[in-house]
Amino acid sequence: MSGAAEATHDAAAKLFVAMTGRLPGGFWSAPGRVNLIGEHTDYNEGFVLPFAIAQRTVAAVDVRADRMIRVASAFSEEAVEVALDDLATIFPTPVGEHPAVPEWAAYPLGVAWAVMQLAQRAHEHGVRVAPDEFVGVDIAIASDVPVGAGLSSSAAIEGAVALALSDVWNLELRGAELASIGRMAENEAVGAPTGIMDQMASTLGEPDAAVFLDCRTLAAELVPLGLTDAELSIVVIDTRVKHAHSTGGYGERRAACERGAAIMGVPALRDLTVADLERAQALMDDVTFRRVRHVVTENQRVLDTVRVLRSEGVRGIGALLTASHASMRDDFEISVPELDTAVESALAVGALGARMTGGGFGGAAIALVEDHAVGAVSDAVRAAFAAAGFTEPHIFTVTASAGAHRDR
């Protein structure tokens, strides 16, 4: 376990002791993720290629003698306690519309609600334990996944808590079931209209591999990255411009995608190809068409990236990453000046490719960089930010790492 991981475990343990006066019964953790390519394709039932990162959220957990759930987080000074039976009266009302639950607590409590919903449906079909038999739990959460940087700190929380509750409640949930619980919590308890990519990456990630995911079928395949052998690094440039998925811009983009699919008479934009874009342009207003064009071409870029990784290796994907950024900047219009500056300054000093990553309107960019040039790229980006009068970015490298698991 790395020093950062140990520190996160220590923070979760200390928080748990402060809340309960006893040591936790166990630790569960899940990672954030970097999306290598495939942005805003997930909720359009398309393709994505994320990977789990080493930065993780840790949940220190133990059972209680009653049917209460209590959560504490390093993000808040106060714990929140709710009866398990009351979760169904709180959710699915989105965060902000129920004063009993602050925003940070909607994530772990929303996961508990989603687990109970799934378990109830399974119990009605004769499998798994009934939710009214679940014991109460105490959960303390700490994380070293940067918040608001587009690295899916929310999916890391959801994955760690969902796996912990699955084990404590003897549900044996794994893979796509855990990811679906996280998405249900994010969509219906928090109110963020996201797809399932983040949760699948956080659940299924493996070292030195990306998760090639078909968001319609949830079929997932690991694709080796080979960064170490190629002497390349993925540099993350956190602009420190915070974003929030539950705000309007994300929902507006999703609505435009649904409108475009309806105009073209298909279930989702996944069903269109680049060859369909000429007809789409003739039928749509300019904004809707450009939103559609981004998704359709981005789906193709994901497929092309997987093909290149398998045939040529990771050195061949740089131009695809850069093209993805241009599409998000110009067609989907979710970039910001800080993200554009990060991409442009990294490319100017030799990055093989660069793009913003995550939902947009802030967050982080990534750059594919020669190992020996990481320092030079980092210095160039910082200098460009300083010249533009932006807040100094947080720059670090990430490695493809393991998904959610119970820690020793």
Q: Which of 1, 14, 38, 57 is nearest to 408 (CA)?
A: 1
Residue type, 2: S
214 given a catalytic annotation: no
- Between CA 243 and CA 229 the distance in angstroms is 34
How many angstroms separate the Cα of 210 from the Cα of each of 62, 163, 196, 197?
33, 21, 15, 12
How many angstroms separate the Cα of 7 from the Cα of each of 115, 144, 159, 208?
29, 9, 19, 24
- Between CA 181 and CA 403 the distance in angstroms is 15
Residue type, 74: A
Tell me how far apart the terminal alpha carbons of the chain are, to the nearest angstrom.
10
- SS3 for 282-294 is HHCCHHHHHHHHH
- Between CA 138 and CA 243 the distance in angstroms is 29
Q: Which of 62, 198, 238, 331 is catalytic?
A: 198
E strands present in 78-188? 80-83, 137-143
Residue type, 203: T
Q: What's the residue count for the chain?
A: 408
Catalytic residue ranges: 198
